Structure 1
Amino acid sequence: MAQNQAMDAALLTLAEMGEADRLTIAAGTPGIVLMERAAEAIAETVLARYPGAERVACLAGPGNNGGDAYAAAAILLRAGREVRLFHLVPPEKLQGDAANAAAAYDGPAEPLAAFDAQSFDLVIDGLFGAGLARPLEGEVAELVERLNAAATPVVAIDLPSGISGASGAVLGTAVEAEATVTFFRRKPGHLLEPGRSHCGAVAVSDIGVLSTALETIAPKCFENRPALWRHRLAVPSDAGHKYDRGHAVVFSGPASRTGAARLAATAALRAGAGLVTMFSPAGAVLVNAAHLTAVMLKRCEDTDELASHLGDTRLNAFVLGPGFGAGETARAYAEAVLAAGGRLVLDADGISSFKDDPEALFAAARAASEARGDSEPALVLTPHSGEFKRLFPDIASAEGLSKLDQARLAAERACAVVVLKGRDTVIAAPDGRAAINATGTPWLATAGSGDVLSGIVAAQLAQGTPSFEAAAAAVWMHGKAAEAFGAGLIAEDLPGMLPKVFAGLEATGP
């Protein structure tokens, strides 16, 4: 059941989608039937979202995306809309199912050069879909620029033309759509920026592609939804106690920079850790004591005191970095936690501390994973793009790598789960699994929100959730907490929204 639910969240590459189509056709569903069903979904979206759109332009490209446009134009024509189709190549040059769809369309059709967006109430973009591999240029690029400058709304087929299905990148220029209709499953480009912003509202339509094809394809990239990790979360039991839910530790910085650690600690407690302790340098103990209530406090002045604390094996998840300060102490503490068998969330200053010797961190992470004996990563990294560059400068600067590619390569190198943050946060594991997040609001771009995320991750780790699922769940919860609060959000508001997030999870069931 859990596997089937996760497959509902699968994101498919162009090759994987092609294989799903091939398997479906091989099982007895003709390709033209899939195209006709796709066209019906497009037409239904147009008629439902734009009931007043009488004059509709359909832009048809040279492949199956263009075939979908021809078939949708025929349906809308029968529905009484005033439809005109504009083709990039003459219909007689089309092949396969696209040629059949063009032959079945008996409405007006003209070359693309005759298209003027201002003359229509709605435009259907069927020029290029997810398979576009080179930048738009020439006549098509100029047309897209004119279309974007017009006030006419656009519904894109599969993906807005000019958006890479693999990376979400703009290839030269790209259509800015109000809505996008795709089929069977999304592609990474629907969620990765800037593709996500170009897509508008995305509708995923079931056109009869075999869901069992996913078992053969075995995708490893997913939209970050509860179906991906809910079955691995710990649920408090009636007969349980706080020690069942783990003991998280957050390292505090000096007296003048304690707030970030307290945000992480509060979030860890709200997110389900049974106990949370802050390890504080001596000079910050009184400051922290004045602000902490349910979060406990222990002095941790140096590596000797840390070693003594780590003798308590009940301490099982750690956050290091928020407000801590970059340098030798952070490096020593991180390596000590990993060597002692703790699961570590490294953020902010903790990440920056290893910029001159990232391999030391990666070696410690590999050793910790090997010591566990189950290949489960002991390290979770939560960098924003600047921090990512400090640990992985070559990956960050490599041309042609998507954000998804970058996170996956970094996770494999670091033997860690990598949470590459942003509006399109990517969570990647060393084994190649990845999730792209879609929860949250622009108000999350505020000081301290990343510290809260670190605490939520640590809470899931403390309760025994595997590292990839813990990080993915935390990112989703973090975004949902922002959505629950709304405008005016600051980081201090996020932990208080987590009860609503958990209530929503419980209400939706398994």
Structure 2
Amino acid sequence: MDKAAYAHALLTPSQMYAADKAAMKAGVSGPALMEAAGAAVAQAVIARWSPRPVSVLCGPGNNGGDGFVAARHLQNAGWPVRLGLLGAPDALSGDAAHHARLWASVVEPMSPALLEGAGLVIDALFGAGLSRPLDGVAADTVSALAGSGLPVCAVDVPSGLDGGSGAARGSVASACLTVTFFRKKPGHLLLPGRQKCGDVVVADIGIPDAVLNTIEPLVFENNPALWLHAFPWPRVDAHKYQRGHALVVGGRIMTGAARLAATACARMGAGLVTVAAPLLSWPIYASALTSIMVHPIRESGSLGDILADARINVVVLGPGAGISELTRRQALQVLQGERATVLDADAISVFGNDPQVFFDAIQGPCVLTPHDGEFSRIFPGEGSRLERALNAARLSGAVVVLKGADTVIAAPDGRAVINSNAPPQLATGGTGDVLAGMTAGLIAQGMPLFDAAAAAVWLHGEAARLYGIGLISEDLPGMLPRVLRRLRHHS
């Protein structure tokens, strides 16, 4: 990944700990980092809310230390502040103890009673590294906060949320605003974390960007900065064959899926797009498609004669294919060659009984685009969504696009991108077929597979966002010219 992409890196809690340590080794003191973090929380609160009584819930570690600093800054700004601490003040250590000593007002014991009379709560109990459920008075207080309806500003993550996975460890009080430091964590983007964090502000607290050169993060938030350098913009000296020839294999009954994929592939810029259509359905495809060629498939279902055209450099299989022995044979056939493949839907599900045969067949460049149901049929289900996608990429040797509101794009070499711009209107039939076609359209033009998958997912989300409410899948290809114009204008 290009070093410019580090602006969009996502750090696990252990990597964030390493970044803190590296910053201190470079000369930034721990108390200074904590002062900057707490001040950033206070500034974010002041920018969002008018002055009101605020209760600051502080934990026994560095997250609580950030809370002490935020409380002090808010009090100095004239806000009525009430501070509660989990544990005894004399049990604090290190930087947290230092900043607790600078708090000149009352420190109350942690209790749900701290919520009484509050107009805002700052949740500084536990940070992104917590991997166990809350218990005792901390759990009672967070449960009360979750049911209170009070606005919450979370420090780093809402307490009880796993910053690495986005999983909720017991009760978690949803925040309106989360202030995190240096870089986001995967849990800010992965569900349910994304829903629990509200608006996320990333504060600069003085950690040098250079520390990322030693951490070498491999997980990023999807953004054009990650892949725009490889985007295949049309060139004045290019002709259609230089922009690739994509083949979309159509189904016999569900003809709309392949037509959506083919149209999206063409809109994405592929020089030529052909739909391979079963003989009985050929008239449907031929009458519905104009700029896209339609080639009949032999009675046997073999694609051999079509694939003999060496100009075809990417194949899309799965949309509307049906779970059948024919789909299985066709998938194995297209995987035999060295040309790129994009496999979706039924072309993945058809291997549910023998996934190892599928994995062994993937010898060339391949992108898999399953949703959760299709994914679960052939891949293990252990771990977070990010971990599962990365494991699937390693097992299969393919780039895996695990689709959803928090789509994860994972490569076999350990790189991953989490997408965050997908609006809820994408949850409608056919949008996945469009995504498969968009991905193939970029691959046809020579874009590397991982970059093409990340770009297609982001552009897919952006097209849906710009269209807005009322979107259906066939609206997406028509939105692509507008999205691409905007992208080029800002590149």
Give 1:114 deviation, angstroms: 5.7
Partners of 1:352 and 1:503 in 2: CA distance: 36
Runs of 4+ aligned structure 1 residues displaced above 6 Å come to none
Determine which of 360, 379, 385 is the counterpart of 2:366. 379
Check whether the contact 1:83–1:107 (CA below 8 A) recurs between aligned residues: no
Determine which of 258, 274, 277 is the counterpart of 2:274. 277
Partners of 1:101 and 1:341 in 2: CA distance: 61
Give 1:137 deviation, angstroms: 1.9
- The equivalent of 1:152 in structure 2 is 150
Determine which of 76, 79, 82 is the counterpart of 2:77. 79
User: Aligned ranges for residues 235-384 of structure 1 at < 5 Å?
Assistant: 235-254=233-252, 256-301=253-298, 306-365=303-362, 367-368=363-364, 378-384=365-371
Question: SS at 1:131's partner residue?
Answer: coil
* CA displacement, residues 41-95 of structure 1 (integer Å, 9 cap, x when unaligned): 1111000000x23211111001100000000100000000001101111221100
- The equivalent of 1:466 in structure 2 is 448
Partners of 2:105 and 2:430 in 1: CA distance: 57
Q: Does 1:214 align with 2:212?
A: yes
- The equivalent of 2:101 in structure 1 is 103
Paired residue type of 1:154: V
- The equivalent of 1:226 in structure 2 is 224
Question: SS at 1:491's partner residue?
Answer: coil
* CA displacement, residues 343-368 of structure 1 (integer Å, 9 cap, x when unaligned): 11111111111111211221111x33
Give 1:305 deviation, angstroms: 5.0
Give 1:118 deviation, angstroms: 4.3
- The equivalent of 1:453 in structure 2 is 435
Give 1:169 deviation, angstroms: 0.3
Paired residue type of 1:413: L
Question: SS at 2:475's partner residue?
Answer: helix
Give 1:274 deviation, angstroms: 1.2
Partners of 2:203 and 2:243 in 1: CA distance: 40
* CA displacement, residues 190-248 of structure 1 (integer Å, 9 cap, x when unaligned): 00000110000000111111101111011111111111111112111112122121111
Partners of 1:107 and 1:115 in 2: CA distance: 18
- The equivalent of 1:495 in structure 2 is 477
Determine which of 112, 115, 118 is the counterpart of 1:117. 115
Give 1:379 deviation, angstroms: 1.2
Counting aligned pairs with the same residue, the percent is 51
Partners of 1:34 and 1:116 in 2: CA distance: 27
- The equivalent of 1:373 in structure 2 is none
User: Aligned ranges for residues 55-204 of structure 1 at < 5 Å?
Assistant: 55-113=53-111, 115-204=113-202
* CA displacement, residues 108-127 of structure 1 (integer Å, 9 cap, x when unaligned): 32011263424111110000
Give 1:271 deviation, angstroms: 1.1
Q: 1:483 to 1:75 in 2, by over 3 A?
A: same
Determine which of 394, 404, 414 is the counterpart of 1:422. 404
Partners of 1:305 and 1:424 in 2: CA distance: 37
Partners of 1:362 and 1:233 in 2: CA distance: 29
Question: SS at 1:319's partner residue?
Answer: strand
Check whether the contact 1:382–1:418 (CA below 8 A) recurs between aligned residues: yes
Check whether the contact 1:250–1:318 (CA below 8 A) recurs between aligned residues: yes
Partners of 1:199 and 1:134 in 2: CA distance: 18
Check whether the contact 2:367–2:399 (CA below 8 A) recurs between aligned residues: yes
RMSD: 1.2
Determine which of 478, 481, 505 is the counterpart of 2:463. 481
Check whether the contact 2:301–2:326 (CA below 8 A) recurs between aligned residues: no
Name stretches of at least 5 consecutive residues in structure 1 with no aligned partner: 369-377
Question: SS at 2:283's partner residue?
Answer: helix
Partners of 1:90 and 1:42 in 2: CA distance: 23
- The equivalent of 1:44 in structure 2 is 43
Check whether the contact 2:218–2:416 (CA below 8 A) recurs between aligned residues: yes
Give 1:21 deviation, angstroms: 0.9
Partners of 2:318 and 2:133 in 1: CA distance: 41
Check whether the contact 2:112–2:140 (CA below 8 A) recurs between aligned residues: no
Partners of 1:139 and 1:301 in 2: CA distance: 70
Give 1:304 deviation, angstroms: 7.2
Partners of 2:76 and 2:175 in 1: CA distance: 24
Partners of 1:305 and 1:171 in 2: CA distance: 51
Check whether the contact 1:303–1:332 (CA below 8 A) recurs between aligned residues: no
Give 1:151 deviation, angstroms: 2.1
Paired residue type of 2:31: I
* TM-score of the pair, normalised by structure 2: 0.98
